[in-house]
């Protein structure tokens, strides 16, 4: 497995054996299940589809319910039926594909080890349409010396006749946040009971948000 | 929040005596020099307590050869060998930052009766 899905619970800190403190983000990965397989014959590549989180069956469209019914993955709990809310594919080798069946639980502690470097993908907190000072850390304009109604503006966006255009990547106001963000090479600080994973430091997104923990792309272990 | 408090629970020390701002405490801190470990005491007045589960801290201020020194300790840190309350003090604020501006006689704190 290359990764696992989870829900950000929040942040706290743990004490290490040498007395130092490590800030950690707690991520719940309980309930990761293999939902489907992508095979060489059918799809031209091999991958496992993981499902995570609950969704009430009465909120599910018929085609979606049909898919879960076919996989025999409609869960009956407290008189209510649930299917998986989030589905994500993870590329695996053909051997790994055969190792897990549809319906198999995937535990974080089987995928990762303590101290491993991982990448964590999340959706950053949305800030809406923001100005240039908040979005690009521009300095704005002086608060005095005759500045008139121009305190939080970005100033000039370029020259005149030459080059007669605005360069790419010019910082301007716009949507800030609510965007897929990956933090790379963060240490997995530990596991806790109930499928909880501790990641050193922060992770993008709000508490309760979906995150994907993956083996780091830039490995150097 | 439940999962978070369950994790913090493991690190919370049960041997912390009751104390509050204004109390004089002696903090016995583990100091590591190379591979030798020794205990150093830091005794002073508690300026504030910051309550945050396992991440709780408290600030101790002492006068060290005429210079005010403040240290912020994580309350549940294993680096604290032990913590003793030397004297209970009666103060009206939970955060007695005003002590920083006082020295000598003005920095005295009345004793508090504890039953």
**In the predicted model, is pLDDT for residue B48 greater than 80?**
yes
Quick check: A15 and B6 CB within 8 A? no
**In the predicted model, is pLDDT for residue A173 greater than 70?**
yes
**In the predicted model, is pLDDT for residue A25 greater than 80?**
yes
Give the pTM: 0.86
The B24-33 sheet, strands edge to edge: B67-74, B57-64, B36-50, B24-33, B80-87
The chain-wide mean pLDDT, for chain B, equals 91
Chain A residues whose beta carbon lies within 8 Å of the beta carbon of residue B3: 9, 26, 28, 192, 194, 196
Q: How confident is the model at residue A43 (pLDDT cuts 50, 70, 90)?
A: very high
Closest CB from A19, A193, A196 relative to B78: A19
What average pLDDT score do residues A171-187 get? 96
Whole-number Å distance between alpha carbons of A103 and A204:
29
- The C-alpha of B69 sits at a distance from chain A's nearest C-alpha, in angstroms, of 22
- How many folded domains does chain B comprise? 1
Is B28 part of a structural domain of the chain?
A: yes
Return the residue of A nearest to B3 by Cα: A9
Chain B contact for A9 (CB, 8 A cutoff) = yes
Is B66 part of a structural domain of the chain?
A: yes
What average pLDDT score do residues A134-148 get? 93
Is B71 part of a structural domain of the chain?
A: yes
Quick check: A9 and B4 CB within 8 A? yes
CATH code, residues A33-104: 3.30.160.810
**In the predicted model, is pLDDT for residue A26 greater than 60?**
yes
Residues 15-34 of chain A with CB under 8 A from chain B are 15, 17, 19, 21, 26, 28
CATH code of the domain containing B33: 2.30.30.790
**In the predicted model, is pLDDT for residue A220 greater than 80?**
no
Whole-number Å distance between alpha carbons of A26 and A22:
12
**In the predicted model, is pLDDT for residue A40 greater than 60?**
yes
**In the predicted model, is pLDDT for residue A221 greater than 60?**
no
* Largest separation between any pair of C-alpha atoms in chain A: 72
- Dihedral-angle region of residue A16 (phi above 0 means left; psi in -120 to 50 means alpha; beta otherwise): beta
Phi, psi for B100 (deg, rounded to 5): -65, -30
**In the predicted model, is pLDDT for residue A35 greater than 90?**
yes
- The C-alpha of B21 sits at a distance from chain A's nearest C-alpha, in angstroms, of 24
**In the predicted model, is pLDDT for residue A1 greater than 90?**
no
Q: How confident is the model at residue A22 (pLDDT cuts 50, 70, 90)?
A: very high
- Specify the pLDDT at position A184: 95
What average pLDDT score do residues A24-46 get? 94
Is B113 part of a structural domain of the chain?
A: no
- Specify the pLDDT at position A17: 85
Q: Where are the beta strands (DSSP E) in B3-114?
A: 24-33, 36-50, 57-64, 67-74, 80-87, 89-90, 110-111
3-state secondary structure of B87: strand
Range of the domain at B44: 3-105
Burial A112-139 (b: 16+ CB within 10 A, else e): beeeebbbbbbbeeeeeeebbbebeebe
Is B110 part of a structural domain of the chain?
A: no
């Amino acid at each position: 497995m290359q990764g696992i899905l989870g829900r950000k619970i929040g942040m706290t800190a743990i004490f290490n054996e040498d007395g130092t403190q490590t800030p950690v983000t707690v991520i719940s990965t309980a309930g990761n299940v293999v939902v489907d397989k992508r095979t060489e014959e059918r799809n031209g590549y091999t991958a496992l589809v993981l499902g995570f989180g609950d969704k009430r069956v009465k909120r599910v469209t018929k085609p979606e319910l049909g898919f879960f019914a076919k996989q025999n993955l409609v869960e009956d709990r407290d008189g209510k039926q649930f299917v998986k809310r989030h589905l994500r594919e993870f590329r695996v080798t053909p051997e790994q594909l055969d190792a897990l069946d549809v319906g198999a639980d995937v535990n974080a502690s089987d995928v990762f080890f303590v101290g491993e470097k991982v990448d964590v993908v999340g959706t950053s907190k949305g800030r809406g349409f923001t100005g240039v000072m908040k979005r690009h850390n521009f300095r704005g304009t002086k608060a005095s010396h005759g500045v008139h109604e121009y305190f939080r503006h970005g100033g000039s966006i370029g020259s005149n006749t030459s080059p007669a255009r605005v360069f790419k990547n010019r910082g301007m106001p716009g949507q800030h946040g609510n965007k897929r963000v990956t933090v790379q090479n963060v240490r997995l600080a530990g596991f806790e009971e109930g499928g909880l994973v501790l990641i050193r430091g922060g992770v993008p997104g709000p508490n309760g948000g979906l995150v994907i923990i993956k083996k780091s792309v830039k490995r150097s272990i | 929040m439940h999962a978070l408090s369950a994790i913090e629970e493991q690190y919370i020390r049960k041997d912390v005596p009751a104390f509050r701002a204004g109390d004089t405490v002696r903090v016995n801190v583990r100091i590591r020099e190379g591979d030798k470990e020794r205990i150093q005491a830091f005794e002073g007045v508690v300026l504030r307590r910051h309550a945050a589960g396992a991440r709780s801290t408290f600030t101790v201020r002492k006068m060290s050869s005429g210079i005010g020194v403040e240290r912020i300790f994580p309350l549940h840190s294993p680096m604290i060998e032990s913590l003793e309350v030397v004297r209970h003090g009666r103060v009206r604020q939970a955060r007695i930052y005003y002590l920083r501006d006082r020295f000598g006689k003005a920095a005295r704190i009345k004793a508090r009766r504890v039953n």
